[in-house]
Structure 1
Amino acid sequence: MADLKRTVLYDLHIELGGKMVPFAGYEMPVQYPMGVMKEHLHTRAAAGLFDVSHMGQILMSAKSGAVEDAALALEKLVPVDILGLKEGRQRYALFTNDEGGILDDLMVANRGDHLFLVVNAACKDQDFAHLKAHLGDTCDLGMVTDRALLALQGPAAEAALARLVPDAVDLKFMDVAIRQWDTAELWISRSGYTGEDGFEISVPEKFAVSFARALLAMEEVAPIGLGARDSLRLEAGMCLYGHDIDTTTSPVEGNVTWAIQKARRAGGAREGGFPGAARILKELAEGPARRRVGLRPEGRAPMREGTEVFASAEGGAAIGAITSGGFGPSIEAPMAMACLPADLSEGTVVYGEVRGKRLPAVISPMPFQPNQYKR
């Protein structure tokens, strides 16, 4: 662990009894004394506080000063309608490569005169280099290094945050805003990675511990680790980069085509123009050979990442593999995602090989647990 980075909240995690593990180059809490199962259920029932300060925060503005120019520049790297993103709103996006694979997934917010990007921890340095290499001539880019990032998630998140930031209640799902707490400027988005209502809050590092303590002092707020973060996002049907999607997966194969707006599709106002457009537009029109799907294993045994999937209980070669899998505390059953032939429909039974036995699983719709966003 000696060469791992630590977030500004590291000492607080230790104080709270966090079990620290290596993750994306950082020492991060996988769980607290409450345990993964109870942390997961607490987030669904009340409010959970997550340290996501390891994520990358990037500011992007056009040298011309026009946010529209920054949006058009970013559209050269993502198959997403950034120009149509209104001020005070954010959306999910994907960096694609020339082969149509996914380099990373990210969030993009329009903050009026510039864009604010949040990228995955393991990819942040390469994402920043990618942006500089392709857009450095027309855009100013800065990696934010003096702010923590907290996620407050769950049905009680609004009431908890409102005690500190009363006008946070005015935000709807995927709204972004700058608000004040004490003398700190908070960058808030109403979004998250759990399927629950909640917020992601960028806070100056010098205020991060006191802000986290103010939230944790509330009865309904508990600290939540990476273990429950993973089971919550899996129940919500959300991808984990490097597992469910990666450089070998197109957005169509990854089943995230909802993120590609009409303006960037065939016949749209700004059709194509992003890396891998030929493959991605072709797959949108004709369908992919394989696709990310949800699986509900029968019985109680989870099917973990890497489990091979077969079309029949006996014989034949594997038709795909589990990309994420585990037990869903809220649905009280195992759940998984897999990359399988795209012609298999929901309700089809396939077989995952667990400890030498092929066990049945049903291709199922996602999310496994209904989302609870405030729209």
Structure 2
Amino acid sequence: MADDADLKPLPLDGLHRRLGARIVPFAGYAMPIQYEGIIAEHNWTREQAGLFDVSHMGQLLVEGEGAADWLESLAPGDFKALQPHRVRYSLLLADNGGVLDDLMVTNTGRSLYLVVNGATKHDDIAHMQARLPAGISLHHMTDHALLALQGPAAVAVMSRFTLTPETANQPAFADLKFMAGARYQWNGVLIGVTRSGYTGEDGYEISVPSTHAEALAEALLAHAEVKPIGLGARDSLRLEAGLPLYGHDLTPEITPVEADLSFAISKRRKTEGGFPGAARILDQLFNGAPRKRVGLAIEGRMPAREGATVWNGDTQVGIVTSGGFAPSLSVPIAMAYVETPLAGDGTALEIDVRGRRIAARVVPMPFRQKNYVREGKQG
């Protein structure tokens, strides 16, 4: 465990401590893992609105003519077709087709705004800078915090704020749909807002200058529907939503097809290729991959954690990459990679948990319905 003196504080460190957060090391930062308790915070987010400090994430701006073409040389998205103020999930790929990181890409109209994982951001930046051509710049927004307001009450809470679009061609805040983003003036401060998140709930991610982050957080927490939520509940929420976590469910050895993330490979790129590892990935896409990320429902109450082995009779056929208790479902669940012939829904398997075989079966993900709002429709 890192010494406390070696940990970087988040911009809201003082606020977290005043709110009674339990602080733990994560990605080199002193991070709040919980306040009143993981299960209570999880359920509050599902029912009301939770405020997460995710300022450890990397926020990057890519500017210059040809920025979309350049990003397409690193990731399999169709960024040239990404319309202004739209957001797309994508994957930074290794030459072997493995995943170096997953990221969110927003076309701001003037630049590409990227959000990458906190644990990998410095490696990501080095990888990108080594491949950066003349005329394109990459800026790490170290002077900005990142907050996430997630849950069914998030829209109602944010609608009470006066948010003025930065320019006339940006969408009004009330018109911001799922996977869309724009910049707004709030109390004289320019903030970036995307309607997205990592919980399976409707909500927003808000990029704000670090000097104004505490004022914004306190303004959000002043609403009765909003409580602070820690890393522990963020993990259980994303697990129920079937969302992978880099370094666990995604690694440089795992391809997008194996990870069941083929949707992140755009239609045009499936035809044209031109991204790292394209030959391997497209072969798996059309001919099948040897393994697949699946959801597992586990019998009993004992959760299976990362590293637990998955068995079909006397043969090991996979490994758990994320697992835990699902507060919304009151059962243990897990994500695992298993051999493709055994990846079909309903397949009966066993997991070795501390030397004891526990029955499990393959189930569809998400484990719980997502509540994103897509052009007025939920799901």
Instruction: Give the TM-score range, shorter chain.
Output: over 0.9
The 2-side partners of 1:125 and 1:136 are apart by 19
Give 2:253's match in structure 1, choosing from 248, 254, 257.
248
Give 1:336's match in structure 2, choosing from 331, 334, 337.
334
Task: Output the amino acid matched with 1:309.
Answer: V
Q: CA deviation at 1:317?
A: 3.4
User: SS in structure 1 opposite 2:120?
Assistant: helix
Q: CA deviation at 1:301?
A: 1.3
Give 1:35's match in structure 2, choosing from 21, 34, 37.
37
- Quick check: 1:191–1:199 contact (8 Å CA) kept in 2? yes
Unaligned runs of 5+ in 1: none
**Alpha-carbon deviations, 1:94-116, whole Å to 9, x = none?**
01111110000000000112100
Alignment match, 1:354: 353
Alignment match, 1:283: 284
The 1-side partners of 2:212 and 2:133 are apart by 32
Q: CA deviation at 1:165?
A: 3.7
Q: Does 2:294 align with 1:272?
A: no
Alignment match, 1:261: 266
Q: Does 2:11 align with 1:12?
A: no
Q: CA deviation at 1:168?
A: 2.6
The 2-side partners of 1:18 and 1:155 are apart by 24
Q: CA deviation at 1:81?
A: 1.1
Q: Does 2:363 align with 1:364?
A: yes
Q: CA deviation at 1:357?
A: 1.2
C-alpha root-mean-square deviation of aligned residues, in Å?
0.9
The 2-side partners of 1:157 and 1:342 are apart by 39
User: SS in structure 2 opposite 1:77?
Assistant: coil
The 1-side partners of 2:12 and 2:160 are apart by 22
User: SS in structure 1 opposite 2:159?
Assistant: helix
User: SS in structure 2 opposite 1:121?
Assistant: coil
4+ residue segments displaced more than 6 Å: none
Give 1:320's match in structure 2, choosing from 313, 318, 321.
318
Structure 1 pair 136–125 and aligned structure 2 pair: CA distance change class (3 A): farther
TM-score norm. by structure 1 comes to 0.95
**Percent identity at matched positions?**
54
- Quick check: 1:158–1:168 contact (8 Å CA) kept in 2? no
Q: CA deviation at 1:86?
A: 0.6
The 2-side partners of 1:181 and 1:259 are apart by 33
User: SS in structure 2 opposite 1:186?
Assistant: strand
Q: CA deviation at 1:162?
A: 1.4
**Alpha-carbon deviations, 1:293-315, whole Å to 9, x = none?**
00000111111111111002xxx
* Structural mapping, 1:138-157, within 5 Å: 138-157=135-154
Alignment match, 1:186: 191
* Structural mapping, 1:117-156, within 5 Å: 117-156=114-153
Alignment match, 1:116: 113
Alignment match, 1:223: 228
The 1-side partners of 2:47 and 2:279 are apart by 45
Q: Does 2:97 align with 1:100?
A: yes
Number of residue pairs matched by the alignment: 362
Task: Output the amino acid matched with 1:276.
Answer: G
* Structural mapping, 1:51-90, within 5 Å: 51-62=53-64, 64=65, 69-90=66-87
Q: CA deviation at 1:137?
A: 2.4
**Alpha-carbon deviations, 1:321-355, whole Å to 9, x = none?**
10000011111111100000011111001000112
Task: Output the amino acid matched with 1:14.
Answer: R
The 2-side partners of 1:123 and 1:137 are apart by 24
Q: CA deviation at 1:193?
A: 0.1
User: SS in structure 2 opposite 1:249?
Assistant: coil
Alignment match, 1:21: 24
Q: CA deviation at 1:127?
A: 0.8
**Alpha-carbon deviations, 1:22-50, whole Å to 9, x = none?**
00010000000x20000000000000000
- Quick check: 1:52–1:150 contact (8 Å CA) kept in 2? yes
User: SS in structure 1 opposite 2:129?
Assistant: helix
- Quick check: 1:165–1:179 contact (8 Å CA) kept in 2? no
The 2-side partners of 1:247 and 1:135 are apart by 21
